[in-house]
Amino acid sequence: MERRSDTWVAGLAAALLAVVLIAGLTWARSAQGPPAAGRVPSPASLTLPEPVAQPVTRTSAGAQVAWLWVQNPGQRSSLIAFDPAGRQVARSSEFTASGLGVSYGVWRSADGASVFTAGPDSLTRYSAEDPGRRQTYTRLPGEIAGDAFSPDGRLLALLAVSAGSLHLQMIDLASGTAQTTAVGHDRGARLPGVIGDTGNAVWGTPVFAADSAHLYTVTDWGGPLGVTGFAVRDGALVQTGAAMSGKDGRRYPTCPGPAMAMRVVGGGTTLAAFCHGDGAVWFIDLRTLANLGTLPTMQANPFWLSPIFTPDGHLLYLHQPSAFGDSMQVVDLAQRRLLGPVTTPTDVKQDGPFARLAQDAYAGGVATSVPLSPDGLKLYAAGNDGITVLRVPDLKPLARLAPGLKVGEVWISGDGRTLYAITSDGSRLVVMHEDGTGLETVSLPARAGGFLASEHG
Protein backbone atom coordinates (compact mmCIF):
# COMPACT_ATOMS: atom_id res chain seq x y z
CA MET A 1 0.00 0.00 0.00
CA GLU A 2 1.48 3.32 -1.02
CA ARG A 3 2.38 5.60 1.87
CA ARG A 4 1.51 9.18 1.00
CA SER A 5 2.45 12.57 2.40
CA ASP A 6 -0.21 13.87 4.79
CA THR A 7 1.12 17.42 4.38
CA TRP A 8 0.75 17.19 0.63
CA VAL A 9 -2.75 15.77 0.85
CA ALA A 10 -3.85 18.44 3.31
CA GLY A 11 -2.33 21.27 1.32
CA LEU A 12 -3.26 20.21 -2.19
CA ALA A 13 -6.45 18.15 -2.02
CA ALA A 14 -8.73 21.10 -1.32
CA ALA A 15 -7.26 23.12 -4.17
CA LEU A 16 -7.50 20.27 -6.65
CA LEU A 17 -11.03 19.45 -5.55
CA ALA A 18 -12.06 23.01 -6.32
CA VAL A 19 -10.52 22.75 -9.77
CA VAL A 20 -12.29 19.48 -10.41
CA LEU A 21 -15.65 20.86 -9.34
CA ILE A 22 -15.23 23.72 -11.78
CA ALA A 23 -13.69 21.91 -14.71
CA GLY A 24 -14.77 18.29 -14.19
CA LEU A 25 -12.95 15.56 -16.00
CA THR A 26 -11.91 17.97 -18.76
CA TRP A 27 -9.20 19.38 -16.46
CA ALA A 28 -7.27 16.11 -16.30
CA ARG A 29 -7.32 15.71 -20.06
CA SER A 30 -6.62 19.31 -21.09
CA ALA A 31 -3.73 19.60 -18.62
CA GLN A 32 -1.86 16.81 -20.37
CA GLY A 33 -3.02 17.18 -23.97
CA PRO A 34 -3.93 14.30 -26.29
CA PRO A 35 -2.39 10.84 -25.86
CA ALA A 36 1.02 10.31 -27.45
CA ALA A 37 -0.37 7.62 -29.75
CA GLY A 38 -3.20 9.88 -30.89
CA ARG A 39 -6.85 9.92 -29.98
CA VAL A 40 -8.06 7.37 -27.41
CA PRO A 41 -9.13 4.49 -29.69
CA SER A 42 -12.56 3.01 -30.08
CA PRO A 43 -12.87 -0.61 -28.90
CA ALA A 44 -12.98 -1.81 -32.49
CA SER A 45 -9.48 -0.48 -33.16
CA LEU A 46 -7.67 -2.12 -30.24
CA THR A 47 -6.88 -5.64 -29.11
CA LEU A 48 -5.33 -6.62 -25.79
CA PRO A 49 -2.31 -8.93 -25.62
CA GLU A 50 -2.65 -12.41 -24.21
CA PRO A 51 -1.01 -12.63 -20.77
CA VAL A 52 2.29 -14.43 -20.35
CA ALA A 53 2.12 -16.87 -17.42
CA GLN A 54 4.80 -16.15 -14.81
CA PRO A 55 6.58 -18.76 -12.66
CA VAL A 56 5.59 -19.01 -9.00
CA THR A 57 8.80 -18.28 -7.09
CA ARG A 58 7.70 -16.93 -3.69
CA THR A 59 7.43 -20.29 -2.01
CA SER A 60 9.31 -19.70 1.27
CA ALA A 61 7.36 -19.89 4.53
CA GLY A 62 7.94 -16.17 5.22
CA ALA A 63 6.42 -15.16 1.88
CA GLN A 64 3.09 -16.68 2.95
CA VAL A 65 2.83 -14.51 6.10
CA ALA A 66 0.72 -11.33 5.90
CA TRP A 67 2.10 -8.15 7.46
CA LEU A 68 -0.20 -5.21 8.08
CA TRP A 69 -0.23 -1.80 9.69
CA VAL A 70 -2.52 -1.09 12.64
CA GLN A 71 -2.98 2.17 14.52
CA ASN A 72 -4.78 3.19 17.68
CA PRO A 73 -6.11 6.78 17.67
CA GLY A 74 -3.41 9.21 18.78
CA GLN A 75 -0.63 6.58 18.62
CA ARG A 76 2.06 5.69 16.11
CA SER A 77 1.42 2.91 13.61
CA SER A 78 2.67 -0.56 14.45
CA LEU A 79 3.08 -3.80 12.51
CA ILE A 80 1.44 -7.14 13.13
CA ALA A 81 1.76 -10.42 11.19
CA PHE A 82 -0.44 -13.49 10.65
CA ASP A 83 0.24 -16.87 9.06
CA PRO A 84 -2.10 -18.76 6.68
CA ALA A 85 -3.87 -20.37 9.67
CA GLY A 86 -4.81 -16.94 11.03
CA ARG A 87 -2.31 -17.15 13.91
CA GLN A 88 -0.44 -14.03 14.98
CA VAL A 89 3.28 -14.67 14.48
CA ALA A 90 4.84 -11.24 15.07
CA ARG A 91 4.21 -7.75 16.40
CA SER A 92 6.11 -4.51 16.05
CA SER A 93 7.76 -4.73 19.48
CA GLU A 94 10.19 -7.23 17.96
CA PHE A 95 11.59 -4.42 15.83
CA THR A 96 12.69 -2.34 18.82
CA ALA A 97 15.19 -4.96 19.94
CA SER A 98 17.78 -3.70 17.44
CA GLY A 99 17.88 -0.33 19.20
CA LEU A 100 16.59 1.71 16.26
CA GLY A 101 15.05 4.75 17.89
CA VAL A 102 13.78 6.24 14.62
CA SER A 103 12.44 4.41 11.60
CA TYR A 104 13.29 5.99 8.25
CA GLY A 105 11.34 3.37 6.33
CA VAL A 106 9.84 -0.11 6.50
CA TRP A 107 9.74 -2.35 3.42
CA ARG A 108 9.12 -5.93 2.38
CA SER A 109 11.69 -7.64 0.16
CA ALA A 110 10.98 -8.61 -3.45
CA ASP A 111 10.75 -12.30 -2.53
CA GLY A 112 8.43 -11.56 0.39
CA ALA A 113 10.65 -13.46 2.82
CA SER A 114 12.08 -10.46 4.69
CA VAL A 115 11.05 -7.18 6.30
CA PHE A 116 13.51 -4.27 6.39
CA THR A 117 13.59 -1.27 8.70
CA ALA A 118 15.86 1.75 8.30
CA GLY A 119 17.48 3.81 11.02
CA PRO A 120 19.58 7.01 10.67
CA ASP A 121 22.64 5.14 9.31
CA SER A 122 21.74 1.44 9.23
CA LEU A 123 19.28 -1.14 7.94
CA THR A 124 17.96 -4.19 9.75
CA ARG A 125 16.64 -7.23 7.93
CA TYR A 126 14.13 -9.47 9.73
CA SER A 127 12.69 -12.80 8.70
CA ALA A 128 9.03 -12.34 7.75
CA GLU A 129 8.34 -15.71 9.37
CA ASP A 130 10.43 -15.26 12.53
CA PRO A 131 11.43 -11.62 13.27
CA GLY A 132 13.89 -12.87 15.87
CA ARG A 133 16.26 -13.70 13.01
CA ARG A 134 17.94 -10.52 11.82
CA GLN A 135 20.90 -9.05 9.96
CA THR A 136 22.22 -5.46 10.04
CA TYR A 137 23.68 -3.39 7.20
CA THR A 138 25.35 0.02 7.14
CA ARG A 139 23.69 2.62 4.94
CA LEU A 140 24.42 6.17 3.80
CA PRO A 141 23.08 8.64 6.41
CA GLY A 142 20.24 10.94 5.45
CA GLU A 143 16.52 10.99 4.74
CA ILE A 144 15.39 8.23 2.38
CA ALA A 145 13.56 9.58 -0.64
CA GLY A 146 12.93 6.25 -2.36
CA ASP A 147 13.78 2.54 -2.37
CA ALA A 148 13.63 -0.47 -4.68
CA PHE A 149 14.58 -4.15 -4.51
CA SER A 150 15.99 -5.86 -7.58
CA PRO A 151 13.60 -8.51 -8.95
CA ASP A 152 16.15 -11.26 -8.24
CA GLY A 153 16.23 -10.24 -4.56
CA ARG A 154 20.01 -9.64 -4.43
CA LEU A 155 20.11 -5.84 -4.34
CA LEU A 156 18.47 -2.96 -2.49
CA ALA A 157 18.70 0.54 -3.97
CA LEU A 158 18.16 3.63 -1.79
CA LEU A 159 17.94 7.30 -2.70
CA ALA A 160 19.11 9.31 0.31
CA VAL A 161 19.27 13.09 0.69
CA SER A 162 21.41 15.06 3.13
CA ALA A 163 22.08 18.83 3.13
CA GLY A 164 20.33 19.07 -0.21
CA SER A 165 22.61 16.54 -1.95
CA LEU A 166 21.12 13.33 -3.37
CA HIS A 167 22.92 9.98 -3.56
CA LEU A 168 22.03 6.52 -4.83
CA GLN A 169 23.27 3.63 -2.72
CA MET A 170 23.11 0.02 -3.95
CA ILE A 171 23.50 -2.63 -1.24
CA ASP A 172 24.35 -6.26 -1.99
CA LEU A 173 22.11 -8.07 0.50
CA ALA A 174 24.21 -11.23 0.47
CA SER A 175 27.63 -9.69 1.14
CA GLY A 176 26.57 -6.40 2.75
CA THR A 177 28.85 -4.41 0.45
CA ALA A 178 27.56 -1.13 -0.97
CA GLN A 179 28.16 1.18 -3.92
CA THR A 180 27.29 4.89 -3.69
CA THR A 181 27.09 7.55 -6.39
CA ALA A 182 25.76 11.09 -6.64
CA VAL A 183 22.51 11.69 -8.52
CA GLY A 184 21.60 14.97 -10.19
CA HIS A 185 19.03 16.98 -8.27
CA ASP A 186 17.71 20.53 -8.64
CA ARG A 187 17.66 22.14 -5.19
CA GLY A 188 14.98 24.48 -6.44
CA ALA A 189 12.73 21.67 -7.63
CA ARG A 190 9.02 22.28 -7.19
CA LEU A 191 7.11 20.37 -4.50
CA PRO A 192 3.45 21.27 -5.17
CA GLY A 193 1.38 21.42 -2.00
CA VAL A 194 4.20 20.65 0.45
CA ILE A 195 3.92 22.75 3.62
CA GLY A 196 6.80 23.68 5.94
CA ASP A 197 10.55 23.14 5.70
CA THR A 198 11.53 21.64 2.35
CA GLY A 199 15.32 21.82 2.79
CA ASN A 200 15.82 18.04 2.62
CA ALA A 201 12.60 17.20 0.78
CA VAL A 202 13.16 15.36 -2.50
CA TRP A 203 10.69 13.52 -4.67
CA GLY A 204 12.50 10.59 -6.22
CA THR A 205 12.67 6.84 -6.58
CA PRO A 206 14.91 4.13 -8.02
CA VAL A 207 13.42 1.46 -10.28
CA PHE A 208 15.02 -1.77 -11.50
CA ALA A 209 14.52 -3.43 -14.86
CA ALA A 210 13.34 -7.06 -14.86
CA ASP A 211 16.87 -8.31 -15.52
CA SER A 212 18.12 -6.75 -12.23
CA ALA A 213 21.14 -5.52 -14.23
CA HIS A 214 19.77 -2.10 -15.10
CA LEU A 215 18.66 0.55 -12.62
CA TYR A 216 17.12 3.99 -13.13
CA THR A 217 16.42 6.95 -10.89
CA VAL A 218 13.57 9.38 -11.46
CA THR A 219 13.72 12.59 -9.46
CA ASP A 220 12.02 15.97 -9.01
CA TRP A 221 8.85 15.07 -10.89
CA GLY A 222 7.22 18.22 -9.58
CA GLY A 223 9.62 19.84 -12.06
CA PRO A 224 12.25 19.83 -13.48
CA LEU A 225 12.19 16.04 -13.83
CA GLY A 226 15.49 14.17 -14.06
CA VAL A 227 16.17 10.61 -15.27
CA THR A 228 19.48 8.77 -14.77
CA GLY A 229 20.36 5.30 -16.02
CA PHE A 230 22.83 2.83 -14.49
CA ALA A 231 24.12 -0.63 -15.35
CA VAL A 232 25.10 -3.10 -12.63
CA ARG A 233 28.43 -4.57 -13.76
CA ASP A 234 30.52 -6.84 -11.55
CA GLY A 235 28.64 -5.58 -8.52
CA ALA A 236 29.31 -1.90 -9.34
CA LEU A 237 27.08 0.92 -10.56
CA VAL A 238 28.04 2.37 -13.94
CA GLN A 239 26.13 5.42 -15.16
CA THR A 240 24.83 4.95 -18.69
CA GLY A 241 22.97 8.21 -19.23
CA ALA A 242 21.34 11.22 -17.61
CA ALA A 243 18.80 13.82 -18.68
CA MET A 244 16.86 16.65 -17.08
CA SER A 245 13.90 18.66 -18.27
CA GLY A 246 15.01 22.02 -19.67
CA LYS A 247 18.49 20.80 -20.64
CA ASP A 248 19.52 19.85 -24.18
CA GLY A 249 16.05 20.76 -25.35
CA ARG A 250 14.38 18.00 -23.34
CA ARG A 251 10.84 18.41 -22.04
CA TYR A 252 9.34 15.98 -19.54
CA PRO A 253 5.89 16.03 -17.88
CA THR A 254 5.34 16.95 -14.23
CA CYS A 255 3.31 15.32 -11.46
CA PRO A 256 1.56 17.49 -8.82
CA GLY A 257 2.22 15.15 -5.89
CA PRO A 258 4.84 12.95 -4.23
CA ALA A 259 3.35 9.55 -5.13
CA MET A 260 4.17 7.79 -8.40
CA ALA A 261 4.15 4.14 -9.48
CA MET A 262 6.72 3.03 -12.05
CA ARG A 263 7.64 -0.07 -14.03
CA VAL A 264 10.27 -0.86 -16.66
CA VAL A 265 8.41 -2.52 -19.54
CA GLY A 266 8.90 -3.33 -23.21
CA GLY A 267 11.75 -5.74 -22.58
CA GLY A 268 13.66 -3.08 -20.67
CA THR A 269 13.25 -0.34 -23.28
CA THR A 270 10.50 1.81 -21.74
CA LEU A 271 9.70 3.38 -18.38
CA ALA A 272 5.95 3.56 -17.70
CA ALA A 273 5.01 5.85 -14.79
CA PHE A 274 1.63 6.60 -13.22
CA CYS A 275 1.07 9.90 -11.41
CA HIS A 276 -1.36 9.56 -8.50
CA GLY A 277 -1.92 13.32 -8.52
CA ASP A 278 -3.56 13.72 -11.92
CA GLY A 279 -3.86 10.12 -13.16
CA ALA A 280 -1.57 10.60 -16.16
CA VAL A 281 0.59 7.76 -17.48
CA TRP A 282 4.05 8.71 -18.79
CA PHE A 283 6.32 6.87 -21.21
CA ILE A 284 10.10 7.41 -21.43
CA ASP A 285 12.46 5.64 -23.86
CA LEU A 286 15.23 4.24 -21.64
CA ARG A 287 17.67 3.85 -24.54
CA THR A 288 17.68 7.56 -25.36
CA LEU A 289 15.86 8.97 -22.28
CA ALA A 290 13.48 10.64 -24.72
CA ASN A 291 9.95 11.61 -23.67
CA LEU A 292 7.56 9.34 -25.61
CA GLY A 293 4.44 11.18 -24.47
CA THR A 294 1.75 11.25 -21.82
CA LEU A 295 -1.56 9.41 -21.75
CA PRO A 296 -4.35 11.05 -19.70
CA THR A 297 -6.82 8.81 -17.88
CA MET A 298 -10.24 9.33 -16.31
CA GLN A 299 -9.39 10.38 -12.74
CA ALA A 300 -11.66 13.09 -11.33
CA ASN A 301 -9.73 13.67 -8.10
CA PRO A 302 -6.20 12.79 -6.90
CA PHE A 303 -5.58 9.29 -5.58
CA TRP A 304 -8.86 7.80 -6.78
CA LEU A 305 -7.13 5.27 -9.04
CA SER A 306 -5.03 2.33 -7.86
CA PRO A 307 -2.43 1.25 -10.46
CA ILE A 308 -1.92 -2.49 -11.07
CA PHE A 309 0.89 -3.46 -13.46
CA THR A 310 0.64 -7.01 -14.78
CA PRO A 311 3.91 -8.90 -14.09
CA ASP A 312 4.51 -9.57 -17.80
CA GLY A 313 4.71 -5.80 -18.35
CA HIS A 314 1.93 -5.75 -20.96
CA LEU A 315 -0.91 -3.97 -19.17
CA LEU A 316 -1.64 -1.38 -16.51
CA TYR A 317 -5.05 -1.69 -14.85
CA LEU A 318 -6.40 1.38 -13.06
CA HIS A 319 -8.93 0.43 -10.41
CA GLN A 320 -11.30 2.99 -8.93
CA PRO A 321 -12.54 1.52 -5.63
CA SER A 322 -16.16 0.95 -4.75
CA ALA A 323 -16.48 3.96 -2.43
CA PHE A 324 -16.37 6.14 -5.54
CA GLY A 325 -18.19 3.83 -7.96
CA ASP A 326 -16.14 0.71 -8.70
CA SER A 327 -14.65 0.80 -12.20
CA MET A 328 -11.65 -0.30 -14.26
CA GLN A 329 -9.52 1.21 -16.99
CA VAL A 330 -6.73 -0.60 -18.81
CA VAL A 331 -3.66 0.76 -20.59
CA ASP A 332 -1.93 -1.31 -23.26
CA LEU A 333 1.65 -0.32 -22.43
CA ALA A 334 3.07 -1.31 -25.82
CA GLN A 335 0.48 0.58 -27.86
CA ARG A 336 0.21 3.35 -25.23
CA ARG A 337 -3.57 3.34 -25.49
CA LEU A 338 -6.40 3.45 -22.97
CA LEU A 339 -9.66 1.52 -22.70
CA GLY A 340 -12.41 2.32 -20.24
CA PRO A 341 -13.53 3.16 -17.71
CA VAL A 342 -15.94 0.26 -17.40
CA THR A 343 -17.92 -0.87 -14.39
CA THR A 344 -16.02 -3.62 -12.59
CA PRO A 345 -17.96 -6.84 -13.34
CA THR A 346 -19.14 -9.06 -10.48
CA ASP A 347 -21.49 -11.63 -12.06
CA VAL A 348 -19.66 -14.84 -13.00
CA LYS A 349 -22.30 -15.48 -15.70
CA GLN A 350 -21.32 -12.37 -17.67
CA ASP A 351 -18.47 -11.88 -20.12
CA GLY A 352 -15.56 -9.62 -19.35
CA PRO A 353 -16.03 -6.00 -20.50
CA PHE A 354 -12.95 -6.28 -22.74
CA ALA A 355 -13.80 -9.78 -24.03
CA ARG A 356 -14.20 -8.89 -27.69
CA LEU A 357 -10.83 -7.12 -27.67
CA ALA A 358 -8.80 -9.98 -26.19
CA GLN A 359 -7.23 -13.03 -27.69
CA ASP A 360 -8.00 -16.34 -26.01
CA ALA A 361 -6.53 -16.01 -22.51
CA TYR A 362 -4.84 -18.78 -20.58
CA ALA A 363 -6.69 -18.51 -17.28
CA GLY A 364 -5.19 -21.23 -15.07
CA GLY A 365 -2.82 -20.89 -12.15
CA VAL A 366 -2.75 -19.72 -8.56
CA ALA A 367 -2.97 -16.36 -6.81
CA THR A 368 -0.43 -13.73 -5.58
CA SER A 369 0.04 -10.27 -4.10
CA VAL A 370 -1.51 -6.88 -4.52
CA PRO A 371 -3.78 -7.95 -6.14
CA LEU A 372 -2.68 -10.27 -8.97
CA SER A 373 -2.05 -14.00 -9.00
CA PRO A 374 1.64 -14.94 -9.03
CA ASP A 375 1.30 -16.14 -12.61
CA GLY A 376 -0.30 -12.82 -13.57
CA LEU A 377 -3.47 -14.40 -14.96
CA LYS A 378 -6.05 -13.34 -12.36
CA LEU A 379 -6.90 -10.05 -10.68
CA TYR A 380 -8.70 -9.78 -7.32
CA ALA A 381 -11.13 -6.88 -6.90
CA ALA A 382 -12.24 -6.05 -3.36
CA GLY A 383 -15.71 -4.60 -2.88
CA ASN A 384 -18.75 -4.28 -0.66
CA ASP A 385 -19.91 -7.80 -1.54
CA GLY A 386 -16.75 -9.85 -1.20
CA ILE A 387 -13.86 -10.40 -3.58
CA THR A 388 -14.38 -10.89 -7.31
CA VAL A 389 -11.77 -12.95 -9.16
CA LEU A 390 -11.29 -11.50 -12.67
CA ARG A 391 -9.49 -13.03 -15.63
CA VAL A 392 -6.65 -11.12 -17.28
CA PRO A 393 -6.91 -9.42 -19.75
CA ASP A 394 -10.67 -9.30 -20.46
CA LEU A 395 -11.76 -9.11 -16.76
CA LYS A 396 -14.31 -11.89 -17.05
CA PRO A 397 -15.52 -12.76 -13.51
CA LEU A 398 -14.36 -16.26 -12.60
CA ALA A 399 -15.57 -16.51 -8.99
CA ARG A 400 -17.01 -14.55 -6.08
CA LEU A 401 -15.30 -15.15 -2.73
CA ALA A 402 -16.65 -14.28 0.72
CA PRO A 403 -19.95 -12.80 -0.56
CA GLY A 404 -21.56 -10.36 1.83
CA LEU A 405 -18.22 -9.28 3.31
CA LYS A 406 -17.27 -5.63 2.90
CA VAL A 407 -13.61 -5.77 1.87
CA GLY A 408 -11.27 -2.80 1.75
CA GLU A 409 -8.03 -4.43 0.61
CA VAL A 410 -6.65 -7.84 -0.38
CA TRP A 411 -3.18 -9.40 -0.17
CA ILE A 412 -2.32 -12.77 -1.69
CA SER A 413 0.37 -15.05 -0.27
CA GLY A 414 3.51 -15.61 -2.31
CA ASP A 415 2.44 -19.07 -3.46
CA GLY A 416 -1.11 -17.84 -4.14
CA ARG A 417 -2.78 -20.42 -1.92
CA THR A 418 -3.99 -18.02 0.79
CA LEU A 419 -5.97 -14.78 0.55
CA TYR A 420 -5.88 -12.15 3.28
CA ALA A 421 -8.53 -9.41 3.35
CA ILE A 422 -8.99 -6.37 5.58
CA THR A 423 -12.61 -5.41 6.16
CA SER A 424 -13.68 -1.96 5.03
CA ASP A 425 -13.88 -0.67 8.61
CA GLY A 426 -10.35 -1.92 9.33
CA SER A 427 -11.44 -3.92 12.37
CA ARG A 428 -10.92 -7.48 11.10
CA LEU A 429 -8.56 -9.60 9.07
CA VAL A 430 -10.14 -12.41 7.06
CA VAL A 431 -8.00 -15.37 5.97
CA MET A 432 -9.18 -17.94 3.42
CA HIS A 433 -7.95 -20.49 0.91
CA GLU A 434 -7.61 -19.36 -2.71
CA ASP A 435 -11.03 -20.86 -3.53
CA GLY A 436 -12.72 -19.04 -0.64
CA THR A 437 -12.99 -22.06 1.66
CA GLY A 438 -11.57 -22.37 5.18
CA LEU A 439 -12.46 -18.78 6.02
CA GLU A 440 -11.17 -17.52 9.37
CA THR A 441 -11.87 -14.09 10.90
CA VAL A 442 -9.42 -12.38 13.25
CA SER A 443 -10.33 -9.30 15.31
CA LEU A 444 -7.46 -6.81 15.12
CA PRO A 445 -6.13 -4.95 18.19
CA ALA A 446 -6.43 -1.62 16.36
CA ARG A 447 -7.70 -0.27 13.06
CA ALA A 448 -5.76 -1.65 10.10
CA GLY A 449 -4.19 0.83 7.70
CA GLY A 450 -3.13 -1.62 4.99
CA PHE A 451 -0.68 -4.38 4.12
CA LEU A 452 3.11 -4.22 4.02
CA ALA A 453 3.61 -5.71 0.56
CA SER A 454 6.46 -6.29 -1.86
CA GLU A 455 4.53 -4.45 -4.57
CA HIS A 456 2.40 -1.40 -4.18
CA GLY A 457 1.04 1.27 -6.43
Identify the band that residue 19 occupies on the pLDDT scale cut at 50, 70 and 90: very low
- 338 has a pLDDT exceeding 50: yes
pLDDT of residue 352: 86
Residue 95: what pLDDT? Answer: 54
pLDDT tens figures, 162-185: 777 899 999 999 999 999 999 999
Q: Give a three-class secondary structure readout of the chain.
A: CCCCCHHHHHHHHHHHHHHHHHHCCHHHHHHHCCCCCCCCCCHHHCCECCCCCCCCCCCCCHHHCEEEEEECCCCCCEEEEECCCCCEEEEHHHHHHHCCCCCCEEEECCCCCEEEEECCCEEEEEECCCCCCEEEEECCCCEEEEEEECCCCCEEEEEEEECCEEEEEEEECCCCCEEEEECCCCCCCCCCCCCCCCCCCCCEEEEECCCCCEEEEEECCCCCCEEEEEEEECCEEEEEEEEECCCCCCCCCCCCCCCEEEEEECCCCEEEEEECCCCCEEEEECCCCEEEEEECCCCCCCCCCEEEECCCCCEEEEEECHHHCCEEEEEECCCCEEEEEEECCCCCCCCCCCHHHECCCCCCCCCCCCCECCCCCEEEEEECCEEEEEECCCCCEEEEECCCCCEEEEEECCCCCEEEEEECCCCEEEEEECCCCCCEEEECCCEEEEECCCCCC
pLDDT over 80 (residue 3)? no
Instruction: Report the C-alpha gap between 419 and 444 in whole angstroms.
Output: 17
pLDDT at 132: 83
For residue 1, what pLDDT is reported? 35
Amino acid of residue 195: I
What are the φ and ψ backbone dihedral angles of 267, each rounded to 5 degrees?
65, 30
At residue 413, does pLDDT exceed 50?
yes
> Class of the 1-34+139-344 domain?
mainly beta
pLDDT tens digits, one per residue of 256-270:
999 899 999 999 999
pLDDT at 194: 82
Render pLDDT for 81-138 as a digit per residue (tens, 0 to 9): 999 999 999 887 555 434 333 457 889 999 999 999 998 899 999 999 988 888 999 9
Do β-strands 378-383 and 386-391 pair in parallel, antiparallel, or remain unpaired?
Answer: antiparallel
- Per-residue pLDDT at 27 exceeds 70: no
> In whole angstroms, how far apart are CA 367 and each of 57, 149, 354, 408?
12, 22, 21, 18
Instruction: For residues 393 and 346, give the distance between their C-alpha atoms in angstroms, rounded to a whole number.
Output: 15
Reply yes or no on whether the pLDDT at 341 is more than 90.
yes
- Kindly report the pTM of this predicted structure: 0.85
Domain ranges within the chain, ordered by starting residue: 1-34+139-344
111, 104 in Cβ contact below 8 A?
no
